[in-house]
């Protein structure tokens, strides 16, 4: 039995049957990481000794008893390093407290194990903005794993992790999950606490699972979801038993296909995979209905104004005073400017600069307020579509993963590739990526994800449809 | 848009190569987002959050689990007398 290939459900069964103990599982997993991760780069670090202490006292009766969970390197776990894959925080920051999601994982018996590579401060869609090291796609080492949760998705895909938690501000869970051929869920805004996650854009960020199966995503979500005293945007609506709900059939489900998503720009081979997945859905009793999201062409502009504006504000605290690297300086302004100039990578600087411009005196109404108003139109598009259908189906990314080095020359082109994922963040709805086959690029099969989008707090219907598809797909 | 002015507001020191590059790239982004001027947004209410949540209040009482002074200071690059140490601010 190769432990690292197991799902959460399978590892639980192996523990229950007495085939293996959590201590043995962690040692085996660490051995796999040491042997194979140098060729992939999914892990920034792990602490086996600390995890073994947790493993020795693991309560296997708990829902995630003894299960190691890899954390994206922006999720605080007390005593663990946290760098956001930035030179600013690398080797200088240790989390002094647990994020709410980590506290909930621990209470459910899970063991936080490993820090996943990512784009610096979650800004990017290729993982190439990691200031610490490159992360490769396990399906083709010349290609990117996607981002920003690239390390999480690559580790799960390469069987170097059982499951992981990532974060999604504009597609950062779903897009790497699609590129790496694993399952990734962005929960509805307010479903999961953001307390203890290094914030990128506070009105868009959500934390969610990246796993090998939809059932594992359901199991993780029911542990991490729920209200939080430390995040006032987190809603205390009761958490359904997702893992028990997913098995029901989907006869009569209405799935909308947005006409605008299947226009120019979408790779024909990906389009064919999505259409084939819709045939599978029909065979399961679902009805496919065309819908319109008329303002789709504006979502990238809206998103990059709002996300960078919020980021420029959130990242003001990264200043070399309370944490992080500090440059030599003779006065306070110089200390800020030099520390930030030396500490941030180029994409982070670009986004902070753009966000600062759109919020600057005289420009607020022209950019930020206009984007917030246009955001209302996107919400109305989805409300209108969801009055006719239960779920929406879409691609995740218009293209397969690009080759390492291809994206950096043209930032705008890279931003435009987020077109199918960012609406879920702007509107706060839930959405996931589930593998729907491969496309052949230069003779190599590369994974493609099917995106399903659900109503706010509609995770039960979303996971049920994804699970039914996953079972039928084989 | 003057990139030097924006960089000063953002408190980020840029070298001469970065000034040239960001001036061009951010001008391009600005040009791109001008797309939004095509929309008639006069009577549209802005959305600041996906979920309409109003002020969440709680009693103003200290809670258990607050960080200790040591934990608060432990990540700072410079600490003295249980405080963050900085260059002189007031002349």
Report the pLDDT value the prediction gives residue B66, as an integer from 0 to 100: 84
The answer to whether A474 touches A276, Cβ cutoff 8 Å, is no
Report the pLDDT value the prediction gives residue A258, as an integer from 0 to 100: 98
Q: How many helices (H) and strands (E) does chain A have?
A: 16, 11
The answer to whether A67 touches A160, Cβ cutoff 8 Å, is no
Q: Which of B7, B18, B75 sits opposite A92 (nearest CB)?
A: B75
Cα A437 from Cα B63, distance rounded (Å): 50
CB-based contact B10 A189, cutoff 8 Å: no
Burial zone of A462 (CB within 10 Å; 0-12 exposed, 13-18 middle, 19+ buried): buried
The residue whose two tokens read 């999201």 is: A293
Does residue A145 belong to the interface with chain B, where contact is any CB pair within 8 Å? Answer: no
Complex ipTM tops 0.90? yes
Does residue A411 belong to the interface with chain B, where contact is any CB pair within 8 Å? Answer: yes
Q: How far apart are the CA of B35 and the nearest CA of chain A, in angstroms?
A: 7
Tallying the residues shown for chain A, one arrives at 474
Q: Which of A312, A369, A374 sits opposite B39 (nearest CB)?
A: A374
Cα A243 from Cα A217, distance rounded (Å): 8
A120 secondary structure, DSSP code: G
Strands A164-168, A68-72: pairing is: parallel
Total count of domains within chain B: 1
Q: Is the residue at B12 inside a domain?
A: yes
CB-based contact A337 B84, cutoff 8 Å: no
Q: Is the residue at B54 inside a domain?
A: no
The tens digit of pLDDT for each residue in B70-88 reads 999 999 999 999 999 999 8
Active site residue A104: no
Q: Which of A301, A322, A336 sits opposite B76 (nearest CB)?
A: A322
Rounded mean pLDDT, B47-52: 82
Report the pLDDT value the prediction gives residue B88, as an integer from 0 to 100: 87
The answer to whether A108 touches A64, Cβ cutoff 8 Å, is yes
Report the pLDDT value the prediction gives residue A16, as an integer from 0 to 100: 96
- Among A94, A201, A327, A357, which would you mutate to test the B interface (most chain B Cβ atoms within 10 Å of its Cβ)? A357
Report the pLDDT value the prediction gives residue A304, as an integer from 0 to 100: 96
Q: Is the residue at B90 inside a domain?
A: no
Phi, psi of A248 (to 5 degrees): -70, 155
Q: How far apart are the CA of B57 and the nearest CA of chain A, in angstroms?
A: 9
The tens digit of pLDDT for each residue in A311-363 reads 999 999 999 999 999 999 999 999 999 999 999 999 999 999 999 999 999 99
Residue of A nearest to B52 (CA): A233
Residue of A nearest to B44 (CA): A373
Active-site choice (A72, A186, A212, A455): A72
Average pLDDT over all residues of chain B: 92
CB-based contact B49 A203, cutoff 8 Å: yes
Q: Is the residue at B65 inside a domain?
A: no
Report the pLDDT value the prediction gives residue A414, as an integer from 0 to 100: 85
B34 secondary structure, DSSP code: G
Task: List A184's β-bridge partners, or say none.
Answer: A210, A433
Cα A333 from Cα A321, distance rounded (Å): 11
Report the pLDDT value the prediction gives residue A322, as an integer from 0 to 100: 94
Active site residue A152: no
The answer to whether A314 touches A200, Cβ cutoff 8 Å, is yes
Which residues in chain A have Cβ-Cβ distances shorter than 8 Å to B58?
229
Q: Which of B18, B25, B39 sits opposite A411 (nearest CB)?
A: B25
- Among A227, A294, A348, A353, which would you mutate to test the B interface (most chain B Cβ atoms within 10 Å of its Cβ)? A353
CB-based contact B36 A312, cutoff 8 Å: no
Which residues in chain B have Cβ-Cβ distances shorter than 8 Å to A313?
none
In SS3 terms, A178-224 reads as: HHHCCEEEECCCCCECCCCECCCCCCCCEEEEEECCHHHHHHHHHHH
Q: Is the residue at B28 inside a domain?
A: yes
- Among B34, B36, B60, B63, which would you mutate to test the A interface (most chain A Cβ atoms within 10 Å of its Cβ)? B36
Q: Is the residue at B49 inside a domain?
A: no
Active site residue A148: yes
Cα A30 to the center of its chain, rounded Å: 23
Does residue A251 belong to the interface with chain B, where contact is any CB pair within 8 Å? Answer: no
CB-based contact A340 B9, cutoff 8 Å: no
Q: How far is CA A59 from CA A16, A22, A158, in A?
A: 11, 10, 27
Report the pLDDT value the prediction gives residue A43, as an integer from 0 to 100: 98
CB-based contact A190 B3, cutoff 8 Å: no
Size of interface A-B (CB pairs under 8 A): 169
CB-based contact A335 B87, cutoff 8 Å: yes
Report the pLDDT value the prediction gives residue B91, as an integer from 0 to 100: 74
Contact map slice: A 310-349 vs B, CB within 8 A: 312, 316, 319-326, 329-338, 340-342, 344, 346, 349
Report the pLDDT value the prediction gives residue A183, as an integer from 0 to 100: 98
Domain that holds residue B11: 3-36
Which residues in chain B have Cβ-Cβ distances shorter than 8 Å to A316?
11
What CATH number corresponds to the domain at position A95? 3.90.1300.10
Q: What is the pLDDT along chain A (474 residues), one digit of tens a residue?
A: 689 999 999 999 999 999 999 999 999 999 999 999 999 999 999 999 999 999 999 999 999 999 999 999 999 999 999 999 999 999 999 999 999 999 999 999 999 999 999 999 999 999 999 999 999 999 999 999 999 999 999 999 999 999 999 999 999 999 999 999 999 999 999 999 999 999 999 999 999 999 999 999 999 999 999 999 999 999 999 999 999 999 999 999 999 999 999 988 899 999 999 999 999 999 999 999 999 999 999 999 999 999 999 999 999 999 999 999 999 999 999 999 999 999 999 999 999 999 999 999 999 999 999 999 999 999 999 999 999 999 999 999 999 999 999 887 777 888 899 999 999 999 999 999 999 999 999 999 999 999 999 999 999 999 999 999 999 997
Q: Is the residue at B18 inside a domain?
A: yes
Domain that holds residue A203: 1-474
Total count of domains within chain A: 1
């Amino acid at each position: 039995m190769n432990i690292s290939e197991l799902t959460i459900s399978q590892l639980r069964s192996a523990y229950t049957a007495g085939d293996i103990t959590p201590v043995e599982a962690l040692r085996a997993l660490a051995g796999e990481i040491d042997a194979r991760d140098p060729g992939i780069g999914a892990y920034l670090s792990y602490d086996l000794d600390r995890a073994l202490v947790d493993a020795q006292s693991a309560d296997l009766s708990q829902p995630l008893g003894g299960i190691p969970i890899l954390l994206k390197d922006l999720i605080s776990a007390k005593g663990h390093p946290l760098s956001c894959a930035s030179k600013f925080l690398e080797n200088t920051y240790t989390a002094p407290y647990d994020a709410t999601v980590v506290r909930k994982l621990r209470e459910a018996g899970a063991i936080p194990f490993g820090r996943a590579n990512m784009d610096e401060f979650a800004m990017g869609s290729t993982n190439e903005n990691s200031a610490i090291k490159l992360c490769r796609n396990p399906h083709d080492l010349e290609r990117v794993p996607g981002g920003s949760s690239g390390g999480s998705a690559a580790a799960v895909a390469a069987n170097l992790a059982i499951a992981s938690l990532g974060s999604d501000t504009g597609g950062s869970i779903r897009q790497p999950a699609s590129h790496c051929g694993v399952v990734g869920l962005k929960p509805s805004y307010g479903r999961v606490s953001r307390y203890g996650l290094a914030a990128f854009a506070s009105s868009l960020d959500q934390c969610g699972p990246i796993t090998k199966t939809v059932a594992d995503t359901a199991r993780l979500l029911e542990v991490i979801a729920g209200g939080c005293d430390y995040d006032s945007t987190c809603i205390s609506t009761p958490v359904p038993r997702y893992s028990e709900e997913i098995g029901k059939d989907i006869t009569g489900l209405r799935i909308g296909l947005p006409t605008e998503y299947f226009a120019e720009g979408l790779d024909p081979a990906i389009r064919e995979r999505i259409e084939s997945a819709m045939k599978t859905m029909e065979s399961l009793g679902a009805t496919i209905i065309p819908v319109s999201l008329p303002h789709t062409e504006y979502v990238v502009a809206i998103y990059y104004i709002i996300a960078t504006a919020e980021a420029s504000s959130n990242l003001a605290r990264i200043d070399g005073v309370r944490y992080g690297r500090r440059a030599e300086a003779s006065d306070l302004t110089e200390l800020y400017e030099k520390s930030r100039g030396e500490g941030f990578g180029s994409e982070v600087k670009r986004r902070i600069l753009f966000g600062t411009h759109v919020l600057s005196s005289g420009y607020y109404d022209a950019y930020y307020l206009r984007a917030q108003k246009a955001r209302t139109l996107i919400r109305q598009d989805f409300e209108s579509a969801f009055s006719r259908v239960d779920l929406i189906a879409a691609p995740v990314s218009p293209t397969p993963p690009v080759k390492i080095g291809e994206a950096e020359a043209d930032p705008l082109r890279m931003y435009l590739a987020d077109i199918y994922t960012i609406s879920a963040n702007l509107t706060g709805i839930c959405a996931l990526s589930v593998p729907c086959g491969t496309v052949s690029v230069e003779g190599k099969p590369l994974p493609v994800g099917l995106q399903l989008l659900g109503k706010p707090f509609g995770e039960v219907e979303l996971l049920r449809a994804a699970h039914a598809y996953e079972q039928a797909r084989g | 848009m003057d990139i030097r002015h924006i960089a000063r507001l953002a408190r980020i020191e840029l070298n001469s190569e970065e000034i040239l590059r960001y001036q061009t790239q951010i001008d391009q982004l600005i040009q791109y987002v001008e797309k939004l001027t095509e929309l008639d947004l006069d009577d549209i209410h802005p959305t600041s959050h996906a979920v309409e949540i109003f002020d969440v209040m709680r009693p103003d009482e200290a809670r258990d689990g607050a960080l200790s002074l040591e934990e608060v200071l432990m990540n700072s690059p410079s600490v003295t007398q249980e405080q963050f140490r900085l260059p002189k601010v007031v002349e």
